[in-house]
Amino acid sequence: MEARELGKHYEVRRLFRPAATVKAVDGVSFVVRRGGTLAVVGESGCGKSTLARLLMRIEPPSFGEIRLGGAVVGTADKPAGEAVDASSYRRRVQMIFQDPYSSLNPRKTARSIIAEPLVVNSGLSKCEREDRVLEILDKVGLRPDAADRYPHMFSGGQRQRIGIARALMLRPELLICDEPVSALDISIQAQVLNLLMDLQDEFGLSYVFISHDLGVVRHIADDVMVMYLGKVMEYGPREPIFSAPKHPYTQLLLSSTPGVAGGPKGGPPAGRSTGELPSPLNPPPGCPFQKRCPSAMDACARVMPSPRSVDGRQVACHLYPEA
């Protein structure tokens, strides 16, 4: 999958005040390699979940385009003859949701929940669907008798396994994982992460893994994209970003996470940030991080820095010269 200058803006109408625009995702570009994992990280409100909705085609982008295997699958104007068929896209791209409690229908059995994508998107018979359900239950580590139980009869980790099984039923190429372990206990998180990595090796899956937990990201990611108020601050391979973060915001994230490189237990120290996350309705001019950045300069308040190549990654910061 490839995104090119992808953006989503929302107009917000306010009582007795002029309408404002929220730039939830603003000019994001990235590539997800076949069989690889791109992690998207950042504080709450940075645009991670909006990006997931764009990649799933739940919402159309305001501008930019998404490509899957080189073919255009979503643009702002959707030129005739270019966009990939929606049904075909659903078979190739599926999603694992954050909350295993609310993402499953409480009135349906696990069998019905897992088989539903086949009912909607395939012409398989009931016997063929049943075989596929039992096969995928085994793949995610659940017993066959779990098929006739309802969601409230499972633990949180088991419910998330059902969500993973549902996402795999159409044998997709890419999974959008929207914080799939954040609602689980620590011990269960490790089991689900190991399951995702095993399934990736077995089926050759690609992942877009959205998370705010940098410890989890370091365990599973190949590439990392750091977002702040809809913008990409730093993007590149995992190890260079964790071992030597370049953008002040990336340094702030790592320094605030115990136990990862760049955090209090090791790695380069980060400058102290000041202030709070600005309102998306009224972001500062120039670089959106400049009000909190310990290294801010005059140019930061005037011009949003374009991404520039620094030690094998893309960094949007005036601290580094443009090529």
pLDDT score recorded for residue 323: 67
> Which of the pair, 9 or 267, is modelled with greater confidence?
9
Q: How much is the average pLDDT of 192-216?
A: 93
Question: Higher confidence at residue 98 or residue 169?
Answer: 169
pLDDT of residue 275: 66
The 3-state DSSP class for residue 300 equals: helix
Give the per-residue pLDDT at 205.
Answer: 95
pLDDT of residue 255: 87
What pLDDT band is residue 217 in, cutting at 50, 70 and 90? very high
Average pLDDT value for the chain: 88
Q: Rounded to 10 degrees, what is the CA torsion of 194, 178, 100, 187?
A: 30
Q: Which residue has the higher pLDDT, 138 or 323?
A: 138
175 has a pLDDT exceeding 70: yes
* 15-22 mean pLDDT: 86
Average pLDDT over residues 6-21: 89
The reported pLDDT for the residue numbered 264 is 44
The mean-pLDDT minimum among 44-53, 128-137, 149-158, 249-258 falls in: 249-258
Q: What residues contact 73, with CB distance under 8 A and at least 6 apart?
A: 57, 66, 67, 83, 84, 89
Task: Tell me how long the chain is.
Answer: 323
- For position 314, what pLDDT does the model report? 95
CA 280 – CA 9 distance, rounded (Å): 11
Confidence category of residue 239, pLDDT binned at 50, 70, 90: very high
Residue 265 has pLDDT above 70, yes or no: no
Segment 112-120 mean pLDDT = 92
Q: What is the pLDDT of residue 273?
A: 58
Stretch (H or E) spanning 24:
strand 17-31
Question: What is d(CA 9, CA 142) in angstroms, rounded to the nearest whole number?
Answer: 41
CA-to-CA dists, residue 268 to 109, 263, 308, angstroms: 50, 8, 21
* pLDDT value at residue 269: 47
For every residue of 55-120, DSSP letters joined together read HTTSS--SEEEEEETTEEEEESS--TTTSPPHHHHHHHEEEE-S-TTTSS-TTS-HHHHHHHHHHH
Percent of the chain with pLDDT over 90: 64
Return d(Cα 207, Cα 279) in angstroms, integer. 30
CA distance 179 to 128: 32
Distance from first CA to last CA of the chain, Å, rounded? 27
pLDDT tier, 268 (very low <50, low <70, confident <90, very high otherwise): very low
pLDDT of residue 77: 55
| Count of CB atoms situated within 10 Å of the CB of 282 | 8
The token duo for 218 is: 């370091």
pLDDT at 308: 93
User: Chain centroid to CA 259: how far?
Assistant: 22
Specify whether the CB–CB gap between 289 and 233 falls below 8 A.
yes
Distances (CA, A) of 265 to 238, 257, 286, 294: 18, 9, 33, 21
pLDDT reading at 81 higher than 50: no
- Range with the lowest mean pLDDT among 55-59, 200-204, 259-263? 259-263
The pLDDT of 160-169, averaged and rounded, is 94
User: CA–CA distance from 143 to each of 111, 282, 313 (Å)?
Assistant: 12, 52, 44
Q: Tell me the β-bridge partners of 41.
A: 226
